[in-house]
Amino acid sequence: MPELPEVHTIVTDLKRFIPGLKIKDVWTDILAFKKIKKDVVNEKIISVERRGKNILIDITGNKTILVHQKMTGHLMYGKWKKEKSGWKSILSGAMHDDPANRFIHLIFFLSNNNQLALCDMRKFASVTVLPKKILKEKLKKLGPEPFDKNLNLKKFSENIKRKKGKIKIVLMDQSVIAGIGNIYADEILWSAGVHPLTTTSKLKNDDIKKIYKSIKPVLNRAIKARGSSYIDYRDAEGKKGRYQEMQNAYGLKGKKCKKKGCDGIIEKIVVGGRGTHFCPKHQIKYG
């Protein structure tokens, strides 16, 4: 599932392309998306922002297109043509050649004759159009952003301690902190040296501090790499990110731990139904 670095990358890309353009038409083969057309056609795109894992496309009429890409979705900006086998990219390169970009299920036709398309192999992505007032209420459930200047160590510690459970699950709780999912929870805990099964009640203050101090560097590194294409994430130009080439824990079962001086071997377990990777040597569990 695209997490903060992947969503940030797509939003940053789209900010270059679509603000100021009008939506001229909509095509979709998903019944739940059919009602979108009447709410967006002839509206102008004002801005593109991110909140947690959500993409927010503000349009005229005091409305926002809310996109959650879920498991396999990604938004792309380009040009496609309809063929019997589906929509095909007119543009050369990754958009055309990478098979991960062929699952087009929603297209916004824009006033510059380009298109904004949702590619989603498993068709789990959510796209809705909401009045800004309703959107504001909906997003209230989300916790602070990792890069929010008001999220200091004290606030972060309070958020962690008020939740009971294993730290891996709590770190992925969007009401605690927004944007972190399975990949980056593993990476953050690896960096902090905290075992994913450690319960929040057993965390020492120093552990919470290490987790807090690991969050921004891990996410910044992933953003710089334009996200992780460990499976099927692609950016707005249909290209892979590079973070999967530099991951320290996630997806590395059986590999030697990369931490300097550590001779551990990365293990994989299931925590809260999610595949979880960690080093049993330097990631200490307190219970």
Catalytic residues: 2-3, 53, 274
Contact status, residue 91 vs residue 42, Cβ threshold 8 Å: no
SS3 assignment, position 185: helix
Largest Cα separation within the chain, whole Å, is: 60
Residue 257 DSSP class: P
Residue 87 CA from chain centroid, whole number: 25
- Cβ atoms 166, 199 nearer than 8 A: yes
Closest CA to 114 of 86, 82, 74, 78: 78
Question: Which H helix or E strand runs over 168?
Answer: helix 167-171
3-state secondary structure of 158: helix
Report phi then psi at 219, rounded to 5: -65, -40
Q: Which residues contact 59 (CB under 8 A, 6 or more apart)?
A: 23, 40, 43, 44, 45, 46, 65
